[in-house]
Amino acid sequence: MLIGLTYDLRDDYRLLGFSEEDAAEFDVIETIIAIEDSLHKLGHKTERIGHLHALLNHLAAGSRWDMVFNICEGYYGIGREAQVPAILDAFRIPYVFSGPLVLALTLDKGMTKRIIRDAGIPTAPFRVVSSLTDLDVINLPFPLFVKPVAEGTGKGISVHSVIRDPDQLKEQCAFLLDRFRQPVLLETYLSGREFTVGITGTGADATSTGVMEVHLTGEAEEGVYSYLNKEDWEVRCHYTLATGAIARACEEVALSAWRVLGCEDGGRVDLRHDSGGIPNFIEVNPLAGLNPVYSDLPMLSRMNGVDYDELIRRIMESATRKLPS
């Protein structure tokens, strides 16, 4: 098959004047090279397309592909991750990973948690704050945790995200509302261990590629897997493979969330233990990073004996099952 590659590169956005934090979710060229190499080993041909506007130019010029390997994060709006798959749907071009409904839904952490909660999957009690007046009716006990409702890569998360009194709550919500121009997710702070579960497949065929526990070092911002901790992960974090009953409990919650949300082909589900040791859903990433060195999904899969080529093979196997017969 001829596989087109859609992606956003950090360097392209830096040239447009974006800050390091604003460009944090985007990829580096080494990621694209690694994906290409694995696809070539599977016998596919590849063509680099690039970001959304490049895709539109290619389509207008008559370019078509048997499938598109889409890792575009997009930039503007809460529906930004859904833009590329929506366009590909309009042109009836198959693609890897989830469709526009799932990508629009799961970027909105509040909407996602409503579905997870209604499905009976453990998740921390929460509220969505659209303005500071919403704080007048918040009745959740402290400590709380706050973050932007629609960002990734730890953007907007720092040591100040753990809230212990009303004054701090108002101050941090005001900062996040102004900085990110979107609502703030406010939830009960989960004080336990943090895990991320890798998943490949769709629906009943979805399986775990491994469960990784996130540990913070003495150099890290305490108590949070924050933007700074993630960016400086080699110093601030270390990771171990979870096994046994803990891993099985995490996998059960993660796969339940993956299936009820309708995610496809591959990604990650982040979890954290509550005070009783029960894994709670934090968020899902249906467009998980695929850098072979430092992205969580390849890293945890590798710890569990699933190398990068095998990970891409499993993702592609799931995607090709969706092709019309």
Token duo for residue 170: 């108002």
What are the φ and ψ backbone dihedral angles of 84, each rounded to 5 degrees? -65, -50
Cis peptide before 100 (omega within 30 of 0): no
pLDDT in tens, 107-141: 999 999 999 999 999 999 999 999 999 999 999 99
The rounded percent of the chain whose pLDDT value lies above 90 is 87
Whole-number Cα distances in Å, 157 to 47, 148, 161, 234: 36, 8, 6, 18
Residue 247 makes CB contacts below 8 A (sequence gap 6+) with 211, 241
Confidence band for 73, pLDDT divided at 50, 70 and 90? very high
CB 228 within 8 A of CB 221: yes
Q: Which residue has the higher pLDDT, 22 or 225?
A: 225
| Whether the predicted pLDDT of 153 surpasses 80 | no
β 279-285/266-273 pair status: antiparallel
pLDDT in tens, 243-294: 999 999 999 999 999 999 999 999 999 999 999 999 999 999 999 999 999 9
Q: In which order are the strands placed within the sheet that holds 95-96?
A: 45-50, 2-6, 67-70, 95-96
Length in residues, the chain: 325
pLDDT of residue 221: 86
What structural domains and CATH numbers belong to the chain? 2-96 (3.40.50.20), 125-188 (3.30.1490.20), 191-320 (3.30.470.20)
Confidence band for 233, pLDDT divided at 50, 70 and 90? confident
pLDDT of residue 192: 95
Whole-number Cα distances in Å, 6 to 61, 90, 148, 265: 16, 16, 26, 16
pLDDT of residue 9: 95
